[in-house]
Amino acid sequence: MKVSTEKTGPCEYVLNLDVEPERLVNPLRQAARHLNTRRPLSGFRPGKAPYDLVERVYGKEAIYDAMLDKIGNQLYQEALQEAQIEPYTQARFETVQLEPLILKFTVPAQPEVTLGNYRGILVQQAEATVTDEEGQQILAQMQDEHALWVPAERAVKMGDQVVVDAAGTTDDEQEIEEKDLTLQVTEEMTPPEFGQNLIGIKPGEGKEFDVQYPADFRDPDLAGKRAHFQVSLKAVKEKELPALDDELAQSLGPYETLDELRADIQIKLLERKETEAKDAATEEALNALVEQSTLEYPNIAVEHEIDQMVASLANRLSQQGFTLEHYLEMEKKTLAQFREEMRPRAEVRLQRALVLAEFAEAEGIKVEQKDIDQEIERLSQSFDGQHIDAVKAALRKGDALRSITNDVYSHKVLDYLLAITTGQAQPSPEETEAASKPNDAKVEEEEADQNDT
């Protein structure tokens, strides 16, 4: 069999197989017998009709199709081995000619990745620090979250909570009616004119005004429309903050004093900043790793990445009671348009996955059973003792175990990349050898000097 190879795109090849006729004699006769067995001819027992008669009745193409069903994959595998191509996914196949038989396979090949000198990448991880002011801001937010709304016998001010009856009519005669509507008057209200027109009126008073809904308003029935409202103010409430004292601290967790709460806020804020600093440094290292690597991959690999992203979104939407079709309808996009928008992110995801896999192989990084056990132990700690064994058992099966394994692998690879690029990892054997050479040369030089004297 003669095989010719042509590269037609990034990691995409066309294999043309010219199969010698003598190799096909027996496979063709076996295919004819199989065809005749399934579809016997009158006057002959199943599978016993002459080859020429089977060909005349059912056609040469039918016999060749039956023959290729049996040996087509074998021919394909031989061609791959001869061309030294490792396929990424299923090839596209076509019969170019029957006599002599010429087959054509369009093969997406495995991506090719060449890493640069990643041990030369230098990344500086920022030092995490926390100021007293930042801790005080968090404490103020907690204080605000536990505030009470108390009645206020005065006119509405920005930041108040109000209760109103509102009746409105849009410019296309659509009626809007809300009874006992509770809302907070803020600068972020949409449309902003609604809240602005409430400022200055007192409980028991009313007001008429117009508002313009933005084109991207969450309610499509009101988006882009103008409406006239009649509003009656029924109540005004203002925010009353709790005192910053030990009692507040005790209501927020296992704290005895406000100082304990402040200390815990500082610790958690520092941990968050350390995580953010690590994530930023890891992102920088990963970007550098991709930039200095040489990558080539078939187009179908990007399509598969988009498939995964679409499936993941559809799953998240399903958990929230929505469908992908409804989401696309709200976004006013077709699936094809949405997939095209996702393409740049899919490319980045694919490139990162490819270089990280190559990096992990180069450094011999693998997930050990102890790594998985530690992660399962960590994940199960949030459950009470009564259910913890059942949770652990569930995490060791199917999709849950695969997800945990993938997460552990990703974290392990990224952590080691960060360790290398920040100078925390042990040097490679090559680096150790290179570092020792100047010392060896110095010893040789000193010995030469001694010999000269």
Q: Is the pLDDT at 435 greater than 60, yes or no?
A: no
Q: How confident is the model over 35-54, as pLDDT tens digits? A: 999 999 988 999 899 999 99
- CA dist 326 → 196, 329, 334, 336 (Å): 34, 5, 11, 15
Token pair listed for 125? 């991880």
Q: Is the pLDDT at 335 greater than 90, yes or no?
A: yes
Q: Which amino acid is at 45?
A: R
HSE of 203 in the Cβ direction (CA atoms, 13 Å)?
13
Query: Given this model, what pLDDT does residue 24 score?
Result: 95
Q: Is the pLDDT at 115 greater than 50, yes or no?
A: yes
Q: Does domain 2-110 match CATH 3.30.70.1050? A: yes
Mean pLDDT, residues 170-190: 93
Q: Is the pLDDT at 438 greater than 90, yes or no?
A: no
Q: Predicted confidence band at 218 (pLDDT cuts at 50, 70, 90)?
A: confident
Q: Predicted confidence band at 437 (pLDDT cuts at 50, 70, 90)?
A: low
Query: Given this model, what pLDDT does residue 247 score?
Result: 95
Mean per-residue pLDDT of the chain: 91
Q: Is the pLDDT at 104 greater than 60, yes or no?
A: yes
Instruction: Compute CA 171 distance to the chain's CA centroid, rounded to the nearest angstrom.
Output: 44
* The residue to which tokens 């007001």 are assigned: 207
Q: How confident is the model over 120-159, as pLDDT tens digits? A: 999 999 999 999 999 999 999 999 999 999 999 999 999 9
Rounded CA-CA distance 36/24 in Å is 18
Query: Given this model, what pLDDT does residue 220 score?
Result: 85
Query: Given this model, what pLDDT does residue 105 score?
Result: 96
Q: Residue 93: enclosing H or E segment and its boundaries? A: strand 92-97
pTM: 0.76
Please give the sequence-ordered ranges of beta strands (E in DSSP) within 185-263, or none if there are none.
206-212, 226-240
Mean pLDDT, residues 231-243: 96
Q: Predicted confidence band at 72 (pLDDT cuts at 50, 70, 90)?
A: very high
Q: Which amino acid is at 415?
A: D
Q: Predicted confidence band at 382 (pLDDT cuts at 50, 70, 90)?
A: confident
Of the listed ranges 5-19, 208-222, 333-347, the least confidently predicted one is 208-222
DSSP 322: -
Q: Is the pLDDT at 300 greater than 80, yes or no?
A: yes
Mean pLDDT, residues 363-372: 93
Query: Given this model, what pLDDT does residue 387 score?
Result: 78
Q: Predicted confidence band at 103 (pLDDT cuts at 50, 70, 90)?
A: very high
Q: Are strands 101-108 and 92-97 parallel, antiparallel or unpaired?
A: antiparallel
- Name the phi and psi angles at 28, rounded to 5: -70, -40
Q: Is the pLDDT at 28 greater than 60, yes or no?
A: yes
CATH 3.10.50.40 placement within the chain: 148-240
Q: How confident is the model over 260-279, as pLDDT tens digits? A: 999 999 999 999 999 999 99
> 148-240 sits in which CATH class?
alpha beta
Q: Are 118 and 289 in contact (CB under 8 A)?
A: yes
Q: Is the pLDDT at 109 greater than 90, yes or no?
A: yes
CATH 3.30.70.1050 placement within the chain: 2-110
256: left (phi over 0), alpha (psi -120 to 50) or beta: alpha
Q: Is the pLDDT at 448 greater than 60, yes or no?
A: no
